[in-house]
Amino acid sequence: MTTNGTKSNGHTALDFKSFSNTINGKLVGTKKTQHNINPSTLEANPEVPIVSEEEVNEAVNYAIAAGEKWAEVPVKERQAAVVKFADALASYKDDFASMLTKEQGKPLMFAKMEVDSGVQWLKTQAAIEFPEETVEESDERVVVTRYTALGVAVAIVPWNFPIQLACGKIAPALIAGNALILKPSPFTPYCGLKLGELAQHFFPPGVVQALSGDDSLGPILTAHPGIDKVSFTGSTATGKRVMESCSKTLKRVTLELGGKDPAIICSDVDIKATAPKIAQLALLNSGQICIAIKRIYIHASIYDEFLAAMVEAVKSFAIGDGFKEGVYMGPIQNKMQFERVKGFLEELKEKKLDLAVGGDMKTVSDVGKGYFVTPTIVNNPPDDSRIVTEEPFGPIFPVLKWETEDEVVRRANDTLMGLGASVWTQNLETASRLAKKMKAGNVWVNTHLELQPNAAFGGHKQSGLGAEWGLQGLKSYCNAQTLYLRKK
């Protein structure tokens, strides 16, 4: 950064004080505005626009025109532009991270890691080879399948990973030759709007637009006849509404939805090393991760010892404002979600389920006035209790006892969700046998939550439809077109 407010690569520096929509290359404010609340302090963050339906229509028209030209730009140039955009994001790492902690609540260390992931998700997807496929080459004819841009894509992003999930959609949409409209969650609009603003330095007007609105914006976009594709990440309930709305115009749709990931802990694990890891993976981002561990099946022979080691680990995690040094868990991101998590806790107490640790709300005197919840482990609740069947999306999870492989596989798969699953054992044969039986889109052995931008990511069952990232993700922003070229 230079002192005159410009970045060293020449473009005007972003400020993180005022926030606008980006429409056709221009920053646009609105008369009506809203703001979110910093979930750690309950103080108001800056105002953001509430886009009108008229402006949405304008943005879509600009996107249609810009998309047609962008699709003509050679793919190498589109990839190079995405890489430059990624470099610019990296140069603003501290600003984005600090805004992310203010709007989302996650500890600054993890906010910085999210910016790094955003950069990585942009760059790695820009490096994926995207060739035409020759299906047949004979004396008579050539048959080639190529992948062409759809037109205008919309990225609908939730509030748990506003930067990484946006970047995960921006890269493939643009590389495939589409224009993109980014719609951040009204709970976390700030970083998404700044990504839109920053993108203007690397893409022609109308290719990337970012719109902040109220709850009517998502449905307006999914119903809009000028939009060709919706990539949605959010809850399963909303995903179903998105699909229903998209069906009216047969929009292409990718859905990344909720999860209820099981982790199966076998009897031969190193308890001291594994138990704290499992607790960390269940409580990262205060449990607000689609692929967080949400059910822990521990073999009966080590159950008590493993649970005790987890409880010890959980008690050591510092909770508090994300700007405080050493904090591992921030608050729940918004009031609505906080009330939902509280509802789970109240029900656990009503049903007199055994809590191995936690069960209370952190109070003002403990950590501040934000939406804080103490991490809570529910000890061996019935399989049909809500904490086992539903996703609380907060720092509460059940541990369950298992005895035979057939039984644990059946119980782990006994859910409408199918996003992730993991198996923990030193015996790789057991690991492979159990892992292959998991009905989930992402299966890990001796780890969980490890993702990479060049591998397809998607959920089975009601955890999603289609996949993002990797070559499969790129193709999801395209039409397949097969050319049958007869030589004579």
The H or E element containing residue 283 is helix 271-283
Applying CB under 6 A, the residues found at the interface with ligand NAD are 156-160, 183, 185-186, 218-219, 222, 233-235, 238, 241-242, 256-259, 290, 391, 393, 419, 459, 464
CB burial of residue 210 (10 Å; 0-12, 13-18, 19+): buried
Closest CB to ligand NAD belongs to which residue? 218
The Cα 303–Cα 462 span in angstroms is: 30
Cβ-based nearer residue to ligand NAD, 183 or 229: 183
CB burial of residue 215 (10 Å; 0-12, 13-18, 19+): exposed
Q: Which DSSP category does 284 fall into?
A: G
The closest of 287, 178, 193 to 231, measured between CA atoms, is 178
Cβ-based nearer residue to ligand NAD, 46 or 466: 466
Cβ-based nearer residue to ligand NAD, 107 or 192: 192
- Kindly state the smallest distance separating residue 225's Cβ from ligand NAD, in Å: 16
For 184, phi then psi, to 5°, come to -70, 165
Cβ-based nearer residue to ligand NAD, 88 or 329: 329
Cβ-based nearer residue to ligand NAD, 280 or 285: 285
- Kindly state the smallest distance separating residue 73's Cβ from ligand NAD, in Å: 29
- Kindly state the smallest distance separating residue 233's Cβ from ligand NAD, in Å: 5
User: Residue 86 carries which side chain, given as an amino acid letter?
Assistant: A
114, 256, 391, 468: the active-site residue: 256
Q: Annotated catalytic, 256?
A: yes
Strand order in the sheet with 478-486: 133-137, 141-149, 478-486
Cβ-based nearer residue to ligand NAD, 186 or 370: 186
Q: Look at the alpha carbons of 5, 7, 11, 14 in this order and tell me if their dihedral is positive or negative.
A: negative
- Kindly state the smallest distance separating residue 155's Cβ from ligand NAD, in Å: 9
Contact between 105 and 373 under an 8 Å Cβ cutoff? The reply is no
CB burial of residue 98 (10 Å; 0-12, 13-18, 19+): middle
Q: State the helix-helix crossing angle for 108-126 and 75-91, rounded to 10 degrees.
A: 160
The Cα 449–Cα 63 span in angstroms is: 35
- Kindly state the smallest distance separating residue 458's Cβ from ligand NAD, in Å: 8
- Kindly state the smallest distance separating residue 231's Cβ from ligand NAD, in Å: 10
Provide the annotated active-site residues: 256
